[in-house]
Amino acid sequence: MTAPDPAPGPLDDVPGSADGVPGPLDGVLVVAVEQAVAAPFATRQLADLGARVIKVERPGEGDFARGYDTTVLGQSSHFVWLNRGKESIALDLKSDDGRETLERLLARADVLVQNLAPGAAGRLGIRSAQAVERHPRLVACEISGYGEGGPYSDRKAYDLLIQCEAGFVSVTGTPEQPVKAGISVADIAAGMYAYSGVLSALHQRHRTGEGQALEVSMLEALGEWMGFPYLYTRYGGTAPVRAGASHATITPYGPVTTATGEVVNLAVQNEREWVLFCEIVLEQPELATDPRFAGGSARQAHRAELDVIVSDVFAGLDVDTAQRRLDDAGIANARQRTMDGFAEHPQLAARDRWRDTDTPAGPVRMPLPPVTAGWAEPTGAVPAAGADTGSILRWLDESPPHTTS
Positions marked catalytic: 187
Nearest one of 191, 153, 152, 185 to 167, comparing CA atoms: 185
Residue 71: Cβ within 10 Å count: 11
DSSP letter string, 355-394: EEE--TTS-EEEEPPS---SSPPP-PPPPPTTTTHHHHHH
Q: How far apart are CA 270 and CA 287, in angstroms?
A: 15
Task: Judge contact between 383 and 391, C-beta under 8 A.
Answer: no
What lies within 8 Å, CB to CB, of 160 at 6+ separation is: 180
**Is the backbone peptide bond immediately before 383 cis, with ω within 30 degrees of 0?**
no
Helix axes 218-225, 185-208, angle to 10 degrees: 100
Instruction: Give ∠ CA 340-345-348 in degrees, rounded to 5.
Output: 130
The 253-257 sheet, strands edge to edge: 253-257, 263-267, 332-335
